[in-house]
Amino acid sequence: MSTAAPTKPRAPATPIDILSNDTAKLYTHIHPALVLSLYAYQFRSIVADPVPALLNTLLPLAALQIGYVAVCLPPTGSGTAAGVEKKRPGEKKKVVEGGIGGKIIPAFLSLVLSALVATPILTATLVLFGAPVTTHHFHTLLCGAHISLLSTLPLVYVHGVDGHTWREVVALLLPIDEVYGGMIGTVMGAWLGAVPIPLDWDREWQKWPVTIVTGAYIGFAVGKLVGGTLLKGKKIMFE
């Protein structure tokens, strides 16, 4: 992953700002509500039979996410690489230049990358963390796919496939913004989602992988909100 040439000094990464038009500002708050509503709407059928229900939810989720990134976020290359683009007119200009094609193509590209690259990696991680190996393959794969669409799709859209940036993404070195916060929130939510599984409450919803996916959805909404407001621009310090 660390393929970036170390010789060239890079500008420090900056938090992603959502596009400054009114639609974007409004929709970025509507989007998590829509995602959660979608999940809430599907929840009963997911609990009843996870595989078909999760599969059916995948497409609407992808559509919502693509809509979100297209409406609210600057696609990769539109100013992040050149450092902070504070001037609003400049930014707007770029967006205008990009047009619909300049948004939809990166959006679909991020969908493909999330589906083909991030999903297997996340599924493998789920298995490493204790997901069943011999059974429930589709459950786990779909769980990975949902997490991947929630966490990775917007990130690919805004950061592209630059190796150096992705090393920073994994290393938690990027400053927090709503996209990065959404990713971290999704992962932490999915992590916390494992907590109720062992409890002896004998509830249907404790079945694999309902709690993980639920945690991921809630975590996405919380992370996105907190990352875009409270913690925006903060960096994660290990020491």
Partner 1 sequence: MDDGEPLPSYEGIAAAFAKAKAKKEQEEASGLRARTGDAAAANKQGEVHFKASHNILVAFFTWILLLHVLGIYLFTSGFLLTRLVLDEKSECDVLPFGTPESYKPGSSEKGCWHPKTFEKAIVIIVDALRYDFTIPFTPADTEKAHHFHNAIPILYETAAKQPNNAFLLPFIADPPTTTLQRLKGLTTGTLPTFIDAGSNFAGTAIDEDNLVAQLFNASKRIVHLGDDTWHALFPGYFEPNLTHAYDSFNVWDLHTLDNGVTEHLFPLLEPANTGKWDVIFGHYLGVDHAGHRYGPDHPAMTAKLQQMDGLIRKMIKQLSDDTLLVVMGDHGMDAKGDHGGESDDEIQAALWMYSKQKLFGRSAPAFNTPPATAKDRPVPQINLVPTLSLLLGMPIPFNNLGAPIEEAFIGAKGDNYQNLAVVNHLAASQLHRYQDAYAKARGFDEKTRASSLSLWTAASDKWKALSAAKKPTKAQFQAAYTAFSAYQTETLSLCRSLWARFDVPRMLNGVTILVLTLVILALYARSIESDRVELTPALLSRGGIGTVLGTLVGGGATFAFPSLAGEHIIVYSTGMGGVLGAATAFWYIRRRILSPIPNSVWGWTSLIFTVALSGGFAANSFTIWEDEILLYFLCTFGLLMMLSSFRQKNAIDRALGIYHSVLFIVLTRLASFSRLCREEQMPYCKSTYYASATSSTSASWQLYIPYAVAFLLPTFIRTYYKGTSSHQGSAVLWIDFALRFGLLLAAAYWTLDAADDGEWYPGYSEMLKSTKVIIAQITLAIAFAFGYSTFSWAKPLLSIESKSKGTTSAPVISNGGTSSITILGYANVHGSRYALLITIWALAVFLVEKPMGAGAIGIATWQIFSLFEIMDTNKLSDTSVGPVVLGLLGSFHYFKTGHQATLASIQWESAFIPLRTIKYPWSPVLVILNTFGAQILCAVAVPGLVLWKQPPKKKGLLGDVAKAVSTHMLFYAVINLATTMWAGHLRRHLMLYRIFNPRFMLGAAVMLVVDAVVVFVGLGGTRLSFLSVAEVFGWVEGLGRAKEGRFRASHL
Q: Which residues bind partner 1 (CB under 8 A)?
A: 2, 6, 125, 127-130, 133, 167, 170-173, 191, 194, 198-200, 202, 236-239
What's the CA gap between 143 and 55, in Å, rounded? 10
Comparing CB distances to partner 1, the nearer of 38 and 127 is 127
In whole angstroms, the minimum distance from the beta carbon of 164 to partner 1 comes to: 11
Comparing CB distances to partner 1, the nearer of 204 and 239 is 239
In whole angstroms, the minimum distance from the beta carbon of 227 to partner 1 comes to: 17
Q: Identify whether the C-beta of residue 155 lies closer than 8 Å to the C-beta of residue 183.
A: yes
Comparing CB distances to partner 1, the nearer of 6 and 89 is 6
What's the CA gap between 45 and 173, in Å, rounded? 39
In whole angstroms, the minimum distance from the beta carbon of 128 to partner 1 comes to: 5
In whole angstroms, the minimum distance from the beta carbon of 161 to partner 1 comes to: 17
Q: Identify whether the C-beta of residue 151 lies closer than 8 Å to the C-beta of residue 186.
A: yes
In whole angstroms, the minimum distance from the beta carbon of 126 to partner 1 comes to: 10
Comparing CB distances to partner 1, the nearer of 81 and 236 is 236
Comparing CB distances to partner 1, the nearer of 108 and 191 is 191
Q: Identify whether the C-beta of residue 219 lies closer than 8 Å to the C-beta of residue 186.
A: yes
